Amino acid sequence: MYRAPVDDIAFALNEVAGLRAAIDDGLFPELGTDLVDAILNEAGRFAGEEVAPLARIGDEKGAVLKDAAVTMPDGWKELYRRWVEGGWNGLSLPVDHGGQGLPGMLGVAALEMWNSASMAFGIGPILTMGAVDAIEKHASEELKALYLPKLVSGEWMGTMNLTEPQAGSDLNALRARAERAGDGTYRIFGQKIFITYGEHDFTDNIVHLVLARLPDAPPGTRGISLFLVPKFLPGENGAPGARNDVFCSSIEEKLGIHASPTCTMIYGDGFAKDREPGAVGWLIGEENRGLACMFTMMNNARLAVGMQGVAVAEAACQKATAYAQERRQGKAPGHDGEGMAPIILHPDVQRNLLTMKTLTATARLISYSCAHATDMARAKGGDDARHWQERANLLTPVAKAWSTDVGVDVASIGVQVHGGMGYVEETGAAALYRDARIAPIYEGTNGIQAIDLVTRKLPQSGGEHVLGYIAELRADAEAVRASNLPEFGRSGEKIAAALDELEAATRHMQGLLADGRMSDALAGATPYLRLFAIAAGAAYLGRGAVAAKAPDRIALCRFFCENFAGEAAALRERACEGAESLAQAAAALN
């Protein structure tokens, strides 16, 4: 059963990602490290004691659709109620609307815990937070007053309605349509698919944010508008009133996260019999400017999905380690006791567990650093804010893609450590392997993340931002080297060498973009992102090990450097020199 690694999380937040320094600088005046610890401990308790015990029934029973209503698995509604009562939904949401206004880093750390306990549970609030962001930044005061208090508390949940059958990664192809009703409201028509928590029995109302086109909208993404479409229209005092013309027509049978209802939503098909067809919606932001609003939702959601990767990896580590301590087979070096050795003493099993543990750690450190950047962008002003916003922009695709790839790989190794028992559903290792697989896909596939990183983030500030970031990481490599601790082995040199490769690849990519060689840049985007993550992850592990000077942290840093940092040269080659052979071989794909 999952136990939140509260000390590890606190260490990562404070000593690597920058929370302690920000607190010391007075950026979060109401926050001390004591309060941080208290929050993390309580979140950890709730995740381990309340959420985790319901993960199994969630996987086995799943969400069930009947007559357009989704019933959640036994105990889940009450679980959500208790979670809301604990104030967790509003942890890092704005104080103005009833939130606690704590730094996003804390929200992200707590999110990791909910998702380690159950990804199917943890994904729901991510959508609500996205809706809060979009409404807060772009909606009218009236809409804010009506919806934000309930969404911030968690009394209602939100959804994001982007995807249509023909429009997944490519939003140009959206067809859902909106008509002006003449009274300032709109009527929405169309079908949306893959809508996470599109329908459920957790809350009395569900607030759908829906992308659609007005009749006179220009084609492509410049003709998309964002609408707020509640399941129940606001009645007296804003309480849920008449049923809106939107309903869930089916839910997907998925590989994992069975308790998360993935809905096909039908807008404007006459579901509400007592009125003209057309789901009543309110515009968020300006007409035809919905894409910008949507990016507000998506950016934070991308980091949040990255946290799901960290979370499932952490859960898999814990489960595999516990099993390896328990299970005995064969003789192993260093086992002097009677009978068979715990398999955790076999070097090959240790390699698996250490691979899991260090990959998980790098994903966590990169993701928390990304959250920190967002917090700093909010807390600072002027040029500083711009700097930190660029940092958040830079790290978001890396946090999303690397963490979710790590989630899949670590969950897979976790099954392997369990041997035959891993393939049997009873142990839960297989469920993590099933759950993990969605995270590299949703909120923008990892291929899209890599393309975003290379084509939109490397050019920030004329290319200087990313180079400045790499320079900062070099200080970590140097600190490792300068520590003169023999336990590091050659970690400092290896981190520095990986950063050399990253810088070379970065300049190469920037050159391709400058030369308009877009296709070559796209061809190398995925290996470039992996190189970025390995180099940054190694540097962050070094930063933590230098700060802690603890043998365990030093050893984990060294293990990662010796087993992953060495890939950097090959990755640079793949990223920078592979376009020609890729194009050549692509002809063989028929």
Stretch that binds a second copy, among 15-23, 209-217, 246-254, 303-311 (CB under 8 A): 246-254
DSSP one-letter string for 127-187: HHHHHHHHHHHHS-HHHHHHHHHHHHHTSSEEEEE--BTTBSS-GGG---EEEE-SSS-EE
Which residues are CB-contacts of 525 (< 8 A; sequence separation ≥ 6)?
A: 447, 450, 451, 453, 454, 455, 575
The H or E element that residue 225 is part of is strand 225-230
Minimal distance in Å, beta carbon 570 to a second copy? 4
DSSP structure class, residue 522: H
Minimal distance in Å, beta carbon 519 to a second copy? 4
Residues 62-91 that bind a second copy (CB under 8 A): none
Residues 564-583 that bind a second copy (CB under 8 A): 566-567, 569-570, 573-574, 577-583
Q: Closest CB to a second copy among 166 and 461?
A: 166
Task: Candidates 423, 461, 464, 514: give the one binding a second copy (CB under 8 A).
Answer: 423
Minimal distance in Å, beta carbon 176 to a second copy? 17
Instruction: Report how far residue 497's alpha carbon sits from residue 42's, in angstroms, rounded to the nearest whole number.
Output: 41
DSSP structure class, residue 62: -
Task: Candidates 46, 194, 202, 388: give the one binding a second copy (CB under 8 A).
Answer: 194
Instruction: Report how far residue 55's alpha carbon sits from residue 102's, in angstroms, rounded to the nearest whole number.
Output: 27
Residues 491-550 that bind a second copy (CB under 8 A): 518-519, 522-523, 525-527
Task: Candidates 130, 422, 537, 544: give the one binding a second copy (CB under 8 A).
Answer: 422
Q: Closest CB to a second copy among 382 and 587?
A: 587
Mapped onto helix, strand or coil, the DSSP state of residue 428 is coil
Minimal distance in Å, beta carbon 32 to a second copy? 29
Q: Closest CB to a second copy among 30 and 589?
A: 589
Minimal distance in Å, beta carbon 360 to a second copy? 13
Residues 312-371 that bind a second copy (CB under 8 A): 321, 325, 328-330, 333, 340, 344, 346-354, 357-358
Q: Closest CB to a second copy among 110 and 523?
A: 523
Give the C-alpha distances (Å, rounded to integers) separating 546 from 55, 133, 387, 468: 37, 37, 26, 21
Instruction: Report how far residue 250's alpha carbon sits from residue 68's, in angstroms, rounded to the nearest whole number.
Output: 8
By CB under 8 A, residue 471 contacts a second copy: no
Number of residues that bind a second copy (CB under 8 A): 96
Minimal distance in Å, beta carbon 217 to a second copy? 18
By CB under 8 A, residue 222 contacts a second copy: no
Instruction: Report how far residue 57's alpha carbon sits from residue 463's, in angstroms, rounded to the nearest whole number.
Output: 49
By CB under 8 A, residue 220 contacts a second copy: no
Minimal distance in Å, beta carbon 324 to a second copy? 8
Residues 390-409 that bind a second copy (CB under 8 A): 408
Q: Closest CB to a second copy among 448 and 477?
A: 448
Minimal distance in Å, beta carbon 242 to a second copy? 32
Residues 259-318 that bind a second copy (CB under 8 A): none
Largest CA distance in the chain: 82
Task: Candidates 9, 120, 370, 438: give the one binding a second copy (CB under 8 A).
Answer: 438
Residues pairing with 292 in the sheet: none
CA angle 257, 260, 265 (to 5 degrees): 130
443 as an active site residue: the answer is yes
Q: How many CB atoms lie within 10 A of CB 186?
A: 25
Q: Closest CB to a second copy among 146 and 343?
A: 343
In three-state form (DSSP H/G/I as H, E/B as E, the rest C), the secondary structure along 526-583 is HHHHHHHHHHHHHHHHHHHHHHHCCHHHHHHHHHHHHHCHHHHHHHHHHHHHCHHHHH
Task: Candidates 237, 336, 338, 584: give the one binding a second copy (CB under 8 A).
Answer: 584
53 closest CA partner among 121, 5, 7, 125: 121
User: Catalytic residue among 50, 112, 390, 443, which?
Assistant: 443
Q: How many CB atoms lie within 10 A of CB 461?
A: 12
Residues pairing with 190 in the sheet: 267
Q: Closest CB to a second copy among 381 and 486?
A: 486
Stretch that binds a second copy, among 14-22, 131-139, 225-233, 433-441 (CB under 8 A): 433-441
Site string for a second copy, 155-174 (x = CB under 8 A): --------x--xxxxx-xx-
Minimal distance in Å, beta carbon 7 to a second copy? 13
300 closest CA partner among 230, 402, 208, 370: 370
Catalytic residues: 443
